Amino acid sequence: MYLIVGLGNPGRQYEATRHNMGFDVIDKLVEEYRIPQGGVKFNAMYGKGIIGGQQALLMKPLSYMNLSGGPVRDMANYFKIDPETEMIVIYDDIDTEPGNLRIRKQGSAGGHNGIKDLIKQLGTQKFIRIKVGVGAKPQGWDLADYVLGRFDSKSRELVEDAQERACKAVEMILSDGPDAAMNEFNRKSGVV
C-alpha cells in the first residue's frame, strides 16, 4: 500500500491558497478515483482506494503545515508503510513556476517548513515528492503572506492544470515507478 500525503492547512480561511496545493491535489484524487473517506485518524483526514492498480491511502494532515510530520509518521507506522519506497508527498513550491511540476525521489526541505518537519519526524530525506509550482514571491512581499495568499485568475488556470497533471503523476508513479513519472512530468507546461 502507498501513502499519498497532501500538505496544507485546515480551515476555510486557507482554502485555495498557494500553501494548500497538496490538499487541493488530494481532493482531486479523491474525486477522480472515487476514494471513500475513512474519517479522521492520527490528526489527519484519510481515505483508502485503488490508484494505478495499487492500494493507496490518501491523507491530509490536520496539524497545520509546520507540524505535518507527526501525523504522517503515525499513519505510516500504523499501516506499516515504508516512507522511502511507499510514500508520495504533494506540496507547493515557490521555486517552480505556476503550472509546472517537479518530481523528486529525495532531497532537502528547500526552506519548506512542512517538508522540514516531515524529514525531522521520519528521519529521512528519501521519499518521493511532487512539487506543484506556485511561483516566486514578489520582491518586498512577506513569504508567509505570499504562500497564504490566493492566485490571480491567470495563474489559477495554470495551477488547476498542474493539479490535474499531479493526479496523473501519482497514478504513473504507482503503476510505472517514479522514474517514468519524472521523465513525463518534469518539463515546463506547454512543452511537448
Q: Which three cell numbers stand for residue 52?
A: 494505478
What residues does 182 pair with on adjacent strands?
A: none
Show which residues are catalytic.
19
Full DSSP string of 113-147: HHHHHHHHHHT-S-SEEEEEE--PPPTT--HHHHH
E strand segments, 42-173: 44-51, 54-61, 87-93, 101-104, 128-133
Radius of gyration for the alpha carbons in the chain, expressed in angstroms and rounded:
15
d(CA 141, CA 51): 39
